[in-house]
Amino acid sequence: MFNYRGSTALVTGASKGIGEVFAEHLAARGMNLVLVARSLDALESLASRLSDKYGIRCTALNADLADPVSADWIAAELERRDIQVDLLVNNAGLGLSGNFLSHELTQEQGSIQVNVQTLVSLSYLFGKGMKNRRKGGIINIASNASFQPLPAMATYAATKAFVLHFSEALSYELAGDGVHVMAVCPGPTATNFFAGTTTNMSAKDMDSSKSVVEKTLAAYDQGKKVAYPTRFSVRLGTLLPRFLPRSLVTKIAGAATKNMGLH
Ligand SMILES: NC(=O)c1ccc[n+]([C@@H]2O[C@H](COP(=O)([O-])OP(=O)(O)OC[C@H]3O[C@@H](n4cnc5c(N)ncnc54)[C@H](OP(=O)(O)O)[C@@H]3O)[C@@H](O)[C@H]2O)c1
């Protein structure tokens, strides 16, 4: 079982949604926190609320993770402040919906930078210290989109497939070094994730951030390599691609995103 109390977690995308709830639950377990996102005001008010409520130390860092130098900057800033990261929660992420060619190329590349490149860099920069200390954890947020190509969210699903495969391989590599790596595959969750999209899903069709985080941390405490903090029907959907031809899986996924109003 990970020793939460008194150690430090870095949570990316902590300004809202699932990341904010991760911060609250880790603070409740007695962890000091480093909170990262672009919305500094939201981070600072969360940091002050959590440190008052739980008596922990909270540091808010304003970083745009779409900037290729952001991971190096975060690592250098924490070294300068003498803060060691024991648990890394790579939660920040975004998905563009609609056809691939309808977006600006810079938007597509920015999403790959946040979801993949910066996640890899942070895993590397903080994973090294954990391996040397033979103690630590990395929780990477993938998605139920990790399991199949997803027309109308093509780049997003591909980035999340990367996160799942990368995390499972890393979990195997670090298993003997005292570092527990876990991927998380939430289903649709009621956050700001779909804000500004054409989705017709309502909050009642989705999981809450609270249930996602509670199930994720329960899975982490059980030593799981992959967590599926979602309802049975969504979990079932992640299993189908194992049994059906890929062309059929892509057609079904395309019909599903159309049904969700994402085309
Ligand atoms: N909601 C879902 O249905 C769902 C399903 C499966 C997986 N997920 C995954 O869950 C994770 C959390 O998403 P959410 O649902 O909580 O979405 P959200 O409410 O939109 O929150 C996203 C978080 O990521 C941060 N972020 C986005 N771009 C960033 C950037 N360039 N630099 C720094 N931080 C950035 C945002 O902070 P700022 O805007 O303040 O920078 C925010 O804190 C993501 O990885 C997402 O892919 C979500």
> Mean pLDDT throughout 108-124?
98
Query: Is the pLDDT at 162 greater than 90, yes or no?
Result: yes
| 1 inside domain | no
Nearest CA to ligand 1 atom 20: 193
Average pLDDT over residues 58-77: 98
Q: Tell me, in angstroms, the distance from the centre of ligand 1 to residue 241's CA.
A: 26
Q: pLDDT tens digits for 128-150?
A: 999 999 999 999 999 999 999 99
Q: Amino acid identity, residue 72?
A: D
pLDDT value at residue 93: 98
**How are beta strands 58-62 and 32-37 bridged, if at all?**
parallel
Q: Is the pLDDT of residue 263 over 90?
A: no
Q: For a pocket test of ligand 1, which of 94, 112, 119, 257 has the largest count of ligand atoms closer than 8 A to its C-beta?
A: 94
Of 12, 16, 215, best ligand 1 pocket probe by most atoms within 8 Å of the beta carbon: 16
Range of the domain at 173: 8-259
Catalytic residues: 156
Could you tell me if the CB of 96 is within 6 A of ligand 1? no
Whole-number Å distance, alpha carbon 197 to ligand 1 midpoint, is 14
The verdict on residue 2 lying in a domain is: no
Based on the structure, what is the number of domains in the chain?
1
Average pLDDT of the chain, as a whole number? 97
Q: Would you place residue 18 in the very low, low, confident or very high pLDDT band (cuts 50, 70, 90)?
A: very high
Residue range 147-154: mean pLDDT, rounded: 97
Query: Where does the pLDDT of residue 194 fall: very low under 50, low under 70, confident under 90, or very high at 90 and above?
Result: very high
Q: Is 188 a domain residue?
A: yes
Q: How far apart are CA 191 and CA 206, in angstroms?
A: 9
The pLDDT score that the predictor gives to residue 74 is 99
39 found inside a domain = yes
Decide if 3 is inside a domain.
no
Q: Is 130 in the pocket of ligand 1 (CB under 6 A)?
A: no
Q: Output 195-200 pairs: Cβ under 8 A, ≥24 positions apart.
A: 197/97, 197/98, 197/261, 197/262, 198/97, 198/98, 198/261, 198/262, 198/263, 199/97, 199/260, 199/261, 199/262, 200/260, 200/261
- pLDDT tens digits, one per residue of 206-254: 999 999 999 999 999 999 999 999 999 999 999 999 999 999 999 999 9
What is the rounded average pLDDT of the residues 6-34?
A: 98
The answer to whether position 229 is within a domain reads yes
Residue 202 domain flag? yes
CA dihedral sign of residues 38, 152, 195, 146: negative
pLDDT at 11: 99
- Residue 136 Cβ < 6 Å to ligand 1: no
* CATH number of the domain where residue 226 is located: 3.40.50.720
Mean pLDDT of 193-206: 90
| 170 in Cβ contact with 119 (< 8 Å) | no
DSSP assignment of 33-92 equals EEEEES-HHHHHHHHHHHHHHH---EEEEE--TTSTTHHHHHHHHHHHTT---SEEEE--
Q: Where are the alpha helices (DSSP H) in the chain?
A: 17-28, 40-54, 70-80, 105-112, 119-133, 154-174, 209-221, 232-239, 246-259
